[in-house]
Structure 1
């Protein structure tokens, strides 16, 4: 099939307003917008000014009105306790209306903020949609997040209500949420008027009625029995839908604000054109609603497009084995899977040959999309071999909310290039600049930027912090949004994202990409995953240092493997890389969303002050890394100089 990409992108370039107007007309509006884009509003302009709509209506009620109410909207599967459930669009409306009624009874209305602190269960999704139904602004915080970080988010957004659960489920343990929430509320300057608590069977939490705790399930059941109807509240297209605090936040929180109109238009467009799914198809984003992928592609985009979306509580390995993903794909006839590369690296580590795939029927799977962490070509090739479907790396951020660069499956795939996320999507004029703001020659490493205005669906600002948004994202390269990612654009316009700009190593005057070195490390047949950081060197400024995790059942001498990885990098990249040090480690420190904490590892190696990241998946891993670095002569201060978070 000849790709339609270049024609579609050219159409957007020729008339952006007409392009986005046509996309917006596929959704329902209470009041048509006056202007597609108004450059005089907001920090860099606002989309669909004058229009009124409701995101929940477009996600659920619209499909019911179109006669599709009996079709599946949400599929819940817990690998933790075996729970399974399906909800039609009609049933989802009923669930959402009941929660919205409870919120409305407690004074929640348009513009009020609600923090959602829940595990991966249907009530979490329905609570998000209930806020959208009322015109309230939700802020989802990853379940089990530290009390201090939760408190800062409650304060920053001024939460009127918190919706939580008694516990979350992790492999081999139950994580009590209520003590964390209680501590957060005690610390917060802003005191929520009520906390709705969903009691899970695995752990019942004592409710503090004097602090406004309300039993979630009982309150919701009352509204269901009463048959309470809650109509969708019309909101301005420019009104906020949600605030999402970015991972790794320290000090003052940085809340990304997404609007209603632009958000739903952009996400709706992506489902057919980027991901290639039709209404009724099953789409699975194996992520968490605490992250932007969960917001965009577990909840909003699939429901806007009329897909059935999978909500999965579990892990890619260990729940119970490395075949969990294949089981879910088979059970629900998933057409497209979207997850982080780290999930596939974990599966590959446990099942290097992918033998468990043979136990399941994956004939319905059409494509795998990866994002969230650089996807090394070796992992991509492994996934292609095991799944026998296109494996598509694409690039976007919490700030953009949807893909900036991708290979659009729905428009017909473009030729693949190893290590490249392919071409910019309509709405994104991507350029690569040097530090002085001038374009670099094609094929040269530089700062990836996007020419303003940003398209619909991107952040409009930080919550109550317009100037901070300008300084962080728009000032360094005037007229552009700074992605803070580094990469190259080749002669055909293909973009390869190599590293965060602060992961670029300056070695004796040479700018070296950690991503390029990681690609080579991953080529070694015994390496499951890896990370490369730059450590301080008195002669060269910085030199690269590699960390590799070996595949299961590898029993060769680790020192020999380390030497082979060093030789491989020096052979592929050359002596200029000054790559001499590799360490075999059992695990790499990551955030819960799968991003490797390279910056923290670098601070430990250099003996610099560092804080335990709020989003870390397992704090013990950093202690292991610190110990190994000390043994190798790094981390001059024992255990690093750890500051309190």
Structure 2
């Protein structure tokens, strides 16, 4: 019997894992009254956490709320780089390790103290200024998981430049789109990246992106010498990172930033196909990310070694590898490569060697670990672990139980966190010293957050019912707008339930105890290995191929990645379906968007199932891809297509 089936046979009490007395006794928070106290005065709650930061000028007003626009800590000024570095050094923590960095090649490591990190950040900040970058300018960052990535982010934050980190797995076209939208003045990249023993070129992708970009905003390209790959350097535009910082001072005054000044833009998939530039500002963002890291993980900076095993190219890395951990004076692990290189024990080897106490990873990774077998973690000493976290997608109960049984000690709480690029920080999560956990549930809103599951009319549902997950009160790290398109911001997030309620785009249910179970996307954005991918964006990439006349993309359930991409295409006359064409289309999508967007399978069909009004019935396509029972198909104009597709799907399985 699987864990999941076994869990269903347990009583409600047996399916609930409360914190142990020993853990609660030493936890940062152990009083359940914190939820009620934060709810009664949520502005005061957040102000208390903001006071833990260093402000250059105190705020006048905690919150100004004119739905859907919020301003937090109005009138206050601070600098995030100063909060992450200078104040710790001034308090005597300069020699404390900020990052244990591990390269993918075995044996390649760096230990970086707070003082060393600050020196390099200041040098690079001075280099940015020397190349004409100043407050408000946008800088695109296209780097692998190397120390120069947080250095670049902190250097931008130090001088008030706005960074836009682009995941290094994205294609040159995706990078070009983001350069154009942000009107980026500089691109920071490396010659290449290490991936499973191979060297992946990055600088050449940047060169292609600048050629593809419709504008000519990029003036400078800074290149980190990471792999030694042969690259071309354009005179007058391209400069090596090590040459740019050579001779620069290790002192650079931190720019005084308004709490509402923009810190970064991070692009996420949208249902229209065009990525949305999510705007995060300074004071509120740092307040909520630091508070959530401290409390969600029961962080103890003096003793913990914390590892968020995400990529900084996604919001998880922004908030919980760079900004919150450094502002909280955390010692973190940062790893460049994959969990299975050179072997499937690489994660556990890292945990053992650095004595990791807090591990934060994705359900997709946990399912991969399950598939590889418990012998790999069992071959290492994981006794240092005391808190386990998950992020990126809802975790299935079987993976949750495996995580509990094979990775952490029995009393290590598992915090299943729900949040988004748009929310900036944790929104729904257990608190390990207070909240019980249930396998597969994010449990309840973080103190100060008002998360409500509602029905189609916007009314709260009763326990035992499902609906739409909404946030009904502003929160400090909330997105402020979509870069250059405030109307899209309003229409996308605030129009569904009346203008002052944020609709997350996820469905959820309440169980009989009122715990929240996030069910995943209700729109046409898929969650593949924790990465949000737009169906429209992938469909557009497919139709861009000369052989494709029409396409439809759905996300199907997948044991490893949560969702996998199934594509259905009709071909232009003169082209015939073949394994070779399927492979070509997958590569084409990867070139247009990135390898993570490649379909798992492509179904060739003479037509797509459509209603009589011409609407593609993606619901049926999803059911076909998953091999589940079909719903009502009586409104189809071409029901014979469904039968043909079912037969094709059956042959694949």
**What TM-score does the superposition give when structure 1 sets the normalisation length?**
0.79
Cα distance between partner residues in 2 of 1:252 and 1:621: 19
1:70 aligns with 2:95: yes
> How many aligned residue pairs are there?
547
Where does residue 365 of structure 1 map in the other structure? 385
User: What's the offset of the Cα at 1:439?
Assistant: 2.2
Where does residue 54 of structure 1 map in the other structure? 79
Of 310, 326, 339 in structure 2, the residue corresponding to residue 303 of structure 1 is: 326
Matched-pair contact (CA < 8 Å) for 1:80–1:170: no
Q: Which aligned pairs between 1:317-328 and structure 2 lie closer than 5 A?
A: 317=340, 319-328=341-350
1:31 aligns with 2:54: no
CA deviation vs aligned residue, 1:162-203 (integer Å, no higher than 9, x gap): 111000111142111112111111121143110001122341
Of 381, 397, 401 in structure 2, the residue corresponding to residue 377 of structure 1 is: 397
Cα distance between partner residues in 1 of 2:80 and 2:647: 52
1:312 aligns with 2:332: no
1:104 to 1:638, Cα distance in 2 relative to 1, 3 A:
farther
User: What's the offset of the Cα at 1:324?
Assistant: 1.1
User: What's the offset of the Cα at 1:264?
Assistant: 0.8
1:545 to 1:26, Cα distance in 2 relative to 1, 3 A:
closer
Cα distance between partner residues in 2 of 1:323 and 1:160: 42
3-state secondary structure, aligned to 1:612: helix
User: What's the offset of the Cα at 1:38?
Assistant: 1.0
Matched-pair contact (CA < 8 Å) for 1:194–1:214: yes
Cα distance between partner residues in 2 of 1:619 and 1:415: 36
User: What's the offset of the Cα at 1:622?
Assistant: 2.5
Of 145, 152, 157 in structure 2, the residue corresponding to residue 132 of structure 1 is: 157
Matched-pair contact (CA < 8 Å) for 1:254–1:463: yes
1:197 aligns with 2:223: yes
Cα distance between partner residues in 2 of 1:421 and 1:162: 38
Matched-pair contact (CA < 8 Å) for 1:156–1:253: no
Cα distance between partner residues in 1 of 2:509 and 2:480: 27
CA deviation vs aligned residue, 1:120-174 (integer Å, no higher than 9, x gap): 1001110000000001110000114211111110111111111110001111421
CA deviation vs aligned residue, 1:239-298 (integer Å, no higher than 9, x gap): 010000014676433011111100111111112211111123211110101000110111
User: What's the offset of the Cα at 1:418?
Assistant: 2.9
1:339 to 1:548, Cα distance in 2 relative to 1, 3 A:
closer
Cα distance between partner residues in 1 of 2:291 and 2:91: 19
1:88 to 1:545, Cα distance in 2 relative to 1, 3 A:
closer
Matched-pair contact (CA < 8 Å) for 1:12–1:427: yes
Of 287-296 and 73-82, deviating more is 73-82
CA deviation vs aligned residue, 1:550-592 (integer Å, no higher than 9, x gap): xxxxxxxxxxxxxxxxxxxxxxxxxxxxxxxxxxxxxx6xxxx
Where does residue 252 of structure 2 map in the other structure? 230
Matched-pair contact (CA < 8 Å) for 1:185–1:191: no
Where does residue 308 of structure 2 map in the other structure? 285
User: What's the offset of the Cα at 1:604?
Assistant: 6.3
3-state secondary structure, aligned to 2:140: strand
1:464 aligns with 2:484: yes
CA deviation vs aligned residue, 1:335-392 (integer Å, no higher than 9, x gap): 10101100111111111xx112233222211111011022100011111111233332
Where does residue 317 of structure 2 map in the other structure? 294
3-state secondary structure, aligned to 2:247: helix
1:400 to 1:135, Cα distance in 2 relative to 1, 3 A:
same
Cα distance between partner residues in 1 of 2:390 and 2:95: 31
Where does residue 464 of structure 2 map in the other structure? 443
3-state secondary structure, aligned to 2:563: coil
**What TM-score does the superposition give when structure 2 sets the normalisation length?**
0.78
Cα distance between partner residues in 2 of 1:269 and 1:629: 42
Of 15, 32, 41 in structure 2, the residue corresponding to residue 15 of structure 1 is: 41
CA deviation vs aligned residue, 1:315-337 (integer Å, no higher than 9, x gap): 122x1222111111111111101
Structure with larger RCO (C-alpha < 8 A, sep 6+): 2
Q: Which aligned pairs between 1:166-245 and structure 2 lie closer than 5 A?
A: 166-188=191-213, 189-210=215-236, 212-223=237-248, 227-245=249-267
Where does residue 544 of structure 2 map in the other structure? none
1:619 to 1:481, Cα distance in 2 relative to 1, 3 A:
closer
Where does residue 612 of structure 1 map in the other structure? 589
3-state secondary structure, aligned to 1:436: coil
Where does residue 622 of structure 1 map in the other structure? 600
Q: Could you tell me which runs of 5 or more consecutive residues in structure 1 were left unpaired when the two chains were aligned.
A: 505-513, 516-532, 534-543, 550-587, 589-593, 640-645
CA deviation vs aligned residue, 1:87-108 (integer Å, no higher than 9, x gap): 1111000010111011010111
1:266 aligns with 2:285: no
1:8 to 1:617, Cα distance in 2 relative to 1, 3 A:
farther
Q: Which aligned pairs between 1:346-357 and structure 2 lie closer than 5 A?
A: 346-351=368-373, 354-357=374-377
Matched-pair contact (CA < 8 Å) for 1:75–1:85: yes
Cα distance between partner residues in 1 of 2:76 and 2:556: 52
Where does residue 165 of structure 1 map in the other structure? 190
Matched-pair contact (CA < 8 Å) for 1:164–1:197: yes
Where does residue 510 of structure 1 map in the other structure? none
Cα distance between partner residues in 1 of 2:333 and 2:271: 28
CA deviation vs aligned residue, 1:25-84 (integer Å, no higher than 9, x gap): 1110010011100124x8422101100000000001110011111100111101235420
1:414 aligns with 2:435: yes
1:250 to 1:98, Cα distance in 2 relative to 1, 3 A:
farther
Where does residue 113 of structure 2 map in the other structure? 88
Matched-pair contact (CA < 8 Å) for 1:372–1:595: no
Where does residue 423 of structure 1 map in the other structure? 444
Where does residue 596 of structure 1 map in the other structure? 563
1:253 to 1:475, Cα distance in 2 relative to 1, 3 A:
same
Cα distance between partner residues in 2 of 1:112 and 1:186: 21
Q: Could you tell me which runs of 5 or more consecutive residues in structure 2 were left unpaired when the two chains were aligned.
A: 1-20, 528-534, 536-553, 571-576, 578-584, 606-623, 628-641
1:18 to 1:548, Cα distance in 2 relative to 1, 3 A:
closer
